[in-house]
Amino acid sequence: MKQITDFTIVERKALGEAYFTLTLQHPQTLPPIEAGQFVEVEVRDCNDVLLRRPISIHDVDTEHNTLTLLIQIVGKGTRKLATLQVGDTLNLVYPLGHGFSLKGERPLLVGGGAGIAPLLHLAKCYNERGIRPTILLGGRTERLIPARDAFTPYGTLLLTTDDGSLGEKGMVTQHSRFNDNYDHICCCGPTPMMRAVGRHALQHDIPCELSLENMMACGIGACLCCVVKSDGGHLCVCKEGPVFEATKLTNWIDS
């Protein structure tokens, strides 16, 4: 059930120059939150930013009624959010969209850039089922793979960088363990990376879910700015996604 409410910032962490996390607390019990769902954040006191910003839910702590957002600084809205401090309030519409299905016994979680965000909560959800996933994170350089240490307790962590500054050199699809025997793939990140992962999954008949990162102004399917062309029609990413089975996105994967 969607809610619109204020949260209080209880922790803020800078993760290099490009990323930061905000841990937000609510006095009441949080609703169930699926890994892969997102929030729409109100950016206050910023005249140039009229619309809310969609941010993936990075982590959830039901014991302390907190959720954490991993945010990349890319424009005026996220730069304004980066100035917030502990004790400030943030208004959210949440939880939005449909998350990952948690299928498979040998899952591979693949993330790049800000697409790393939903995979931490996803890894924890798998752990609750007694499954430790393989987690493959990639970026152009070491500094563009944020929060990687947080994943270590929840699965086997693999890393790639384009320049070889961390992990294996190359793209995620070139990692030496990318072709291991996985029975499900979950992926979120830059479009070229997701298309490559989705193409691999389709070619090898591996069930795969992709979390698209389109612009989502409303988060409820009203503005239609996040619609993508799919097999046999169109899909509204914020309402029907953001997580889709790769088999529903073959046209998008091959475009």
The model's pLDDT over 167-214, given as tens digits with 9 standing for 90+, comes to: 999 999 999 999 999 999 999 999 999 999 999 999 999 999 999 976
pLDDT at 235: 80
Residues 84 and 167 in one domain: no
Residues 132 and 223 in one domain: yes
Residue 239 confidence class, pLDDT cut points 50, 70, 90: confident
205 neighbors 244 (Cβ within 8 angstroms): no
* Alpha helix ranges (H) inside the chain: 76-81, 117-128, 191-203, 237-240, 250-254
Residues 87 and 37 in one domain: yes
Residue 217 confidence class, pLDDT cut points 50, 70, 90: low
Q: Indicate the number of domains in the chain.
A: 2
pLDDT at 192: 95
Tokens 């979680």, residue located? 109
Residue 162, pLDDT > 80, answer yes
Residues 125 and 205 in one domain: yes
Average of per-residue pLDDT across 63-72: 96
Domain of residue 29: give its range: 3-96
Residues 90 and 113 in one domain: no
Of the candidate ranges 71-85, 92-106, 204-218, the one whose mean pLDDT is the lowest: 204-218
* pTM listed for this prediction: 0.95
Residues 137 and 228 in one domain: yes
Contacts of 32 (CB under 8 A, 6+ apart): 95
Residues 173 and 248 in one domain: yes
- The rounded distance, in Å, linking the Cα atoms of 124 and 219 is 25
CATH code: domain of residue 118: 3.40.50.80
Contacts of 200 (CB under 8 A, 6+ apart): 173, 178, 206
Position 101 in a domain: no
Residues 116 and 78 in one domain: no
- At which of 96, 128, 153 does a domain end? 96
pLDDT at 68: 98
Residue 225, pLDDT > 80, answer no
pLDDT at 241: 82
Residues 46 and 113 in one domain: no
CA 241, 246, 248: angle at the middle one, nearest 5?
70
Residues 187 and 168 in one domain: yes
The model's pLDDT over 17-50, given as tens digits with 9 standing for 90+, comes to: 899 999 999 999 999 999 999 999 998 877 777 7
